[in-house]
Amino acid sequence: MAAPYELRIYGDPVLKAPSTKVTAVTQSLRTLANDMIDTMYASRGVGLAGPQIGVRKQIFVYDAGDGPHTMLNPEIADAQGTWEFEEGCLSVPKLYFAFERPRTILFRGMDLDEKPVEFRVEGYLARILQHETDHLCGTLILDRLSTEQRQSALRTLRMREAT
Ligand code: ZN
């Protein structure tokens, strides 16, 4: 199956822009969520946020191994501990960085039934939820790196652009 959306890649200004809250779950929003899930799987990702397909809405999809989920208007309400893990991003292709994020989070958001959700998670799932929530604030993994990691990543990206 072809991906219904083309991925936006680092350098596209939409990735740096904050997204607006979803106020109502319409049929077109449900279709968007399904298309995003298809795009995520076609790209072999574990998460995909609105801006990554050029949609500035607070929506992301993810699959931490138990099937696809959609979250709206996410918020990291609390964060504890630290965990270093190697992380990548579909919008920063083929670059992986080991860096720290909080290990445990209290996540809040809204589901596709317009119901508020709140849960505390840790480890890999907490990592995905933080990464995707970052996207909706215009934050990329490059913004989370040490100065040294970031400079090296930007050099690689510039070299790719030049070829
Ligand atoms: Zn990403």
95-117 residue pLDDT tens: 999 999 999 999 999 999 999 99
Q: How far is the CA of 51 from the centre of ligand 1 (A)?
A: 10
Catalytic residues: 132
Which of 121, 120, 114, 8 has the alpha carbon at shortest distance from 71? 114
Which of 109, 100, 103, 101 has the alpha carbon at shortest distance from 121? 103
pLDDT attached to residue 161: 82
What does the chain come to in residues? Answer: 163
Determine the Cα–Cα distance for residues 49 and 37; give it in Å rounded to an integer. 10
> Has residue 67 got a pLDDT over 70?
yes
Q: How far is the CA of 148 from the centre of ligand 1 (A)?
A: 20
Q: How far is the CA of 152 from the centre of ligand 1 (A)?
A: 18
* Terminal alpha carbon distance of the chain: 30
pLDDT attached to residue 128: 98
As to burial, measured by CB atoms within 10 angstroms (0-12 exposed, 13-18 middle, 19+ buried), residue 116 is exposed
> Has residue 150 got a pLDDT over 80?
yes
- pLDDT grade for 72, boundaries at 50, 70 and 90: very high
Q: How far is the CA of 15 from the centre of ligand 1 (A)?
A: 9
Q: How far is the CA of 92 from the centre of ligand 1 (A)?
A: 7
pLDDT attached to residue 1: 54
Residue type at 129? L
Summarize the confidence of residues 127-143 as an average pLDDT.
98
Determine the Cα–Cα distance for residues 46 and 37; give it in Å rounded to an integer. 10
- pLDDT grade for 163, boundaries at 50, 70 and 90: confident
pLDDT attached to residue 127: 98
